[in-house]
Structure 1
């Protein structure tokens, strides 16, 4: 049953959202079709439902919702799109409900690990490669040269993918519905994309991605003035939305191989980012409304809960952080929703990821002229990401949507060089793109730029991030459909979140079964489920701490029940 998510969210929009190409290039389709599961069955036999992905009957290759195959027939490549991680189903009273834009109940960790093993098994020997080659080449007796060429391609893919899996994945899985997205994006860009040819890797840049967070819900996300759980990405208009989405697609295996051409960096050389697709997806996300509660609501009780929600006190005070209020002004005349970023005592592990540094490889010295300072040889990965995203978008837009040698926006001058941005033919970003320079809270602040210029383009100090362990507080429309809660998904229900953190469950099952009364995950989650163990406030940097957000915990039982009833109406 499809939930009511507004008149703009139509069946056609949904179908587009489920399969729109954003530029992700994970693995060749024919290879994936020829791979085997650990039990010997074809890898795609169940359409990846064993990992929690949802069936998409419209896909002729048996790929689930959020996966697509792009390219000419017989040469198609499998990629992922937004809906893979942002579509969920919940089950209650024997009925199944679809929540578009909701946090997916999927195990991306298991998918990555199993795909790595499947390809590793294929290339382990000539005898294991032979049936794979026969299937891919569609011949029982393929030409030896074709087999050898295919093997070189598969081994080249596996070298990069396996290096990422071995170095980035923690020993313990993230769990269903969770992913260290920032860590994996950082590892993808710094570890696989900016090194020297032929493999473009800098393996030493990769670190263990052990700060899992839950997938956020997408409805209303284009309206926020900040995104990412720590709030480090500015947001609220189309150009900032594009920056958010380019960073995302680079993390889910878009091809990105920036090239140095003398003193110039070319960000669009072999860059698979589908800018048109990303723009269409952002327009689709704008149409997704918050899901309406499909069950009965006690109107009188909800009215009492609304008064508690809007109460101006530390006892509840929900609306102070989670109400709809005007945020920052964006170009041209866009008013955002305020997204407060503050520390409420929750898990701090993601801030360890934000502090990562890496060798900048081919991007050493890269900068956005008249805007940011050059990347140092060893720099913060957040700065590497910002430069990669801003550079790619600026080149694309200044070139009219196609690569052009006349639209370079970043340079890497030699030490002691007298070159200037003007002498290198670099382009100053026009006023319509100025918001792009603020997309990430890095060195693009005006004072940092001035300081960098005074020091001869030397890197300025890192911009001011919020206090360690601060995360965004979103408007709570549709929050009833987004369990589990807190940024790291460490609390199973809203009722549990209203308990003091020491009384919250230390272990619970994650799955689609829904608890209508407690608003969140049901206690029993058979058959498809995952058990998550969480820590208390004594280990707040575990990545799995249930600590913090004590608001509303001192309310009476009757007031808590009323507040929950009101949250169902949002």
Structure 2
């Protein structure tokens, strides 16, 4: 039998090798043509203003002329492609976002004045953005439906205003208040459902677009569905700590989305039966739990099923528990973790030259690390996760996530666009840090800066190395500092390691760590679960493409990740707790120091945005017993303004209706990193004397040059 098979194979290849070679050549040519067309398309949007517009009556009392751009290595087309390239985010149907009105108003929700209130940057219509959506909002097409979603630019494009002149800075931290935006979106959707006149206008606008909806009933069904989804997302991710502008607990929210989608029916049933009410009585009976979970998939609870369970738990129908909001929050707390550690949006220049990224160095940047990191990010910003349970059989994602011996395995189909994530990462290679614009913000005192450079070498350079901003071979080495050494607010680092959740179908699978493989238990660190989930996503091809192209694109993306990524695996630098077999993620209980190129454009400072200016960062935090007449970091200040203070190097902190940032709340602490104040030891243990006012001024002048 084996002889006959070998003979047949020999004859096939003998007579078909020319055909196979021709197919291979055709595939290579097709891919080349596709890539060439893509490159041409990428350069089609050439609006000279890069879509930016003036705002004569902007939010928070601001007004500014059409923003200018600094030379950061990108041309007009590069910027506009970055702003508008989808990554697979699907917040709500696109037509809904176009048609939706604000609460108690007939003005559109997407109106520039309204979006500016959340500090999203307004834009005019351009080729890639025909409806003039703000920076970082774009149209996503997935499985015959158009959605509005976020791009990288929504959180990583900054603006500095000074005396009426605005400067857009690509890759800089955004001022965006995503939480308030999502809460306002929820209220607008809810009111549209409830208000007959508003609903009628909404229906007319959506149907007039003639895109994805054919009649009013279809619009109303979808409106109810998406309103419920946004409501659920906001409930799951409610935090007692307000984020306000320029911050987001992205990892906390990514963690919660993953926990929602990996949960299995048995685990959920066990959790619901264990819950007690205020009288220490079972919150739900077994019959009520079984009713809520009737006909739900055993292996994985899909998005629609999760919404159905919530609806059943809150229903007042016979046999249903009719749970109130307080009881639903009890369930929320049992399933998810509070995302209460908001951090500043990091800047993106030099990210492709960095060995480790994220504030606590969580993500290695070697090999396919960037692809996994970006896939995790899109999970957090509303990708559609069409994950499903599949019968036994070979699956690459099941193999790589350790599910090959499971009775059923999770298929990780999603809207996440891997090839665009790879292209966006490649685009960031050419982005350089912004140079202080002396023509707008004032000239740098070079002799003073030279004196400041010597102070920098002594006080800062052990952690914040100096690099050439445009050197092609530059490498940004993350210098990790244990949270107890650097002394800054520990909440983000602690949450990343200590948060746990139910592992679903990943239970009893092997998870690689830096100290060896671990077996995931029923309850596991969310970081382990997230790693498995992103591995599954990265190993799944795009379902929106026909079979042949789907796998060619996937192979091309993986190939680029390996062969175009110059970052190789390396041991972390700095002082941190080593990972051990009993504590495999202890190295994450640290924060990262990195090159400070462009630091002037990235206020507020520290990882949690608790210090408004570089001037304030050089001061000590006030401690009990400190004299009242000393100079300290502000204990509270306003955030939200884009108006720049070139003397203190940061944004305006008073004189407008912004958000009051309080530093006495956990997650907002402004202590630590007090090297210039003579309180935090250097890496070698030396405590240098506090800088005097003249020295601080000189160091600040040098920081402007970076």
* TM-score (norm: length of structure 2): 0.65
Deviations 1:421-463 (A, max 9, x none): xxxxxxxxx997999998999xxxxx99xx9xxxxxxxx7552
1:560 equivalenced with 2:560 (yes/no): no
Change (3 A) 1:372 1:199: farther
Deviation, structure 1 residue 3: 4.2
1:288 equivalenced with 2:431 (yes/no): yes
The residue number in structure 2 matching 1:188 is 257
Find the aligned partners of 2:372 and 2:381 in 1 and give their Cα distance.
15
Gaps of 5+ in 2: 1-66, 264-299, 310-331, 399-408, 556-560, 573-577, 623-631, 678-689
Work out which of the residue numbers 42, 45, 56 in structure 1 matches 2:108.
42
Indicate the RMSD between aligned Cα atoms, in angstroms: 3.6
Find the aligned partners of 1:182 and 1:151 in 2 and give their Cα distance.
33
- Determine if contact 2:367/2:568 at 8 Å carries over to the other structure: no
Find the aligned partners of 1:281 and 1:200 in 2 and give their Cα distance.
33
Change (3 A) 1:436 1:561: closer
Find the aligned partners of 1:126 and 1:431 in 2 and give their Cα distance.
55
Find the aligned partners of 2:149 and 2:524 in 1 and give their Cα distance.
30
Work out which of the residue numbers 630, 637, 640 in structure 2 matches 1:508.
637
- Within a 5 Å distance, the mapping from 1:25-424 to structure 2 comes to 25-40=90-105, 41-46=107-112, 48-57=115-124, 58=126, 59-71=129-141, 75-124=145-194, 129-138=199-208, 146-192=215-261, 195-197=300-302, 199=304, 201=306, 204-235=334-365, 237=366, 239-263=368-392, 265=398, 269-295=412-438, 296-311=443-458, 316=459, 318-324=460-466, 336-342=475-481, 343=483, 344-354=486-496, 355-367=498-510, 372-396=517-541, 402=550
Greater CA radius of gyration, 1 or 2? Answer: 2
Find the aligned partners of 1:13 and 1:55 in 2 and give their Cα distance.
18
Change (3 A) 1:375 1:137: farther
Q: What secondary structure, in the 3-state scheme, does the structure 1 residue paired with 2:339 have?
A: coil
Q: What secondary structure, in the 3-state scheme, does the structure 1 residue paired with 2:667 have?
A: coil
Point out the structure with the larger helix share. 2
Find the aligned partners of 1:287 and 1:437 in 2 and give their Cα distance.
19
Change (3 A) 1:117 1:462: farther
Change (3 A) 1:434 1:31: closer
Work out which of the residue numbers 587, 591, 599 in structure 2 matches 1:479.
599
Find the aligned partners of 1:23 and 1:243 in 2 and give their Cα distance.
14
- Determine if contact 2:95/2:206 at 8 Å carries over to the other structure: yes
- Determine if contact 1:291/1:478 at 8 Å carries over to the other structure: yes
Deviations 1:1-24 (A, max 9, x none): 434343x31111111111111111
1:544 equivalenced with 2:662 (yes/no): no
Change (3 A) 1:131 1:91: closer
Deviation, structure 1 residue 192: 4.7
Change (3 A) 1:267 1:87: farther
Aligned residue-pair number: 508
Deviation, structure 1 residue 123: 2.9
- Determine if contact 2:173/2:347 at 8 Å carries over to the other structure: yes
Higher-RCO chain (CA-CA 8 Å, sequence separation at least 6): 1
Deviations 1:523-549 (A, max 9, x none): 33646x3321212xxx6xx00101111
- Within a 5 Å distance, the mapping from 1:6-25 to structure 2 comes to 6=72, 8-25=73-90
Find the aligned partners of 1:434 and 1:14 in 2 and give their Cα distance.
22
Deviation, structure 1 residue 223: 1.6
- Determine if contact 1:164/1:187 at 8 Å carries over to the other structure: no
* TM-score (norm: length of structure 1): 0.80
Find the aligned partners of 1:391 and 1:18 in 2 and give their Cα distance.
27
Deviations 1:336-382 (A, max 9, x none): 42101213000011134221111223444455799954533222111
Find the aligned partners of 2:548 and 2:451 in 1 and give their Cα distance.
55
Deviations 1:385-436 (A, max 9, x none): 1111122213449x997369x99xxxxxxxxxxxxxxxxxxxxxx9979999
The residue number in structure 2 matching 1:426 is none
Deviations 1:476-517 (A, max 9, x none): 000011111000000011110111111210111222111111
Change (3 A) 1:198 1:18: closer
Find the aligned partners of 2:549 and 2:348 in 1 and give their Cα distance.
27
Q: What secondary structure, in the 3-state scheme, does the structure 2 residue paired with 1:279 have?
A: helix
- Determine if contact 2:302/2:387 at 8 Å carries over to the other structure: no
